[in-house]
Amino acid sequence: MSIFGTILSKIFGQGQAAAPEAAAKPAPKPAAAAPAAAPRPAAPAAAPVAKPAAQAVDVEAVLTQLAAAKGKPSNWRQSIVDLLILLDLDSSLSARKELANELNVHAGADGSAEQNIALHKAVMKKLAENGGKVPDSLKD
């Protein structure tokens, strides 16, 4: 999985963690009966429906909640390094270079403040493009 894909999964997964479990449990119960053939196609259809609903995840709220749960100061609103650390991801220069390549961010030298700021903004914009609710202040 790509680094951004992992970021997306960790943030959006926070808002939909209970829904997939609930959807998965009822599907096996009807599977025991013959009429369950109809719910099986409905279950895959329900999964994509769950994703768009989950894409309405309030990114700022999820990240604020994660930061509070960790109980450590975090500057995730401005720092790509802090954002990655908050999500328990690799924040090394090589990981950030890989993420920059994924998102086509070519600002400043590798690891520079200019690149890190551009990368953070690109991540926030990409989260919004994928349906996340991201305040303009985090995208600009």
Does residue 31 carry a pLDDT above 80? no
Does residue 77 carry a pLDDT above 50? yes
3-state secondary structure of 58: strand
Higher pLDDT, 4 or 19: 4
pLDDT of 133:
94
Cβ 123 vs Cβ 48: under 8 Å: no
- Model confidence at 70, pLDDT cuts 50, 70, 90, reads very high
pTM to 2 decimal places: 0.71
pLDDT of 56:
78
3-state secondary structure of 30: helix
Which residues are CB-neighbours of 121 under 8 A, at least 6 positions away?
138, 139, 140
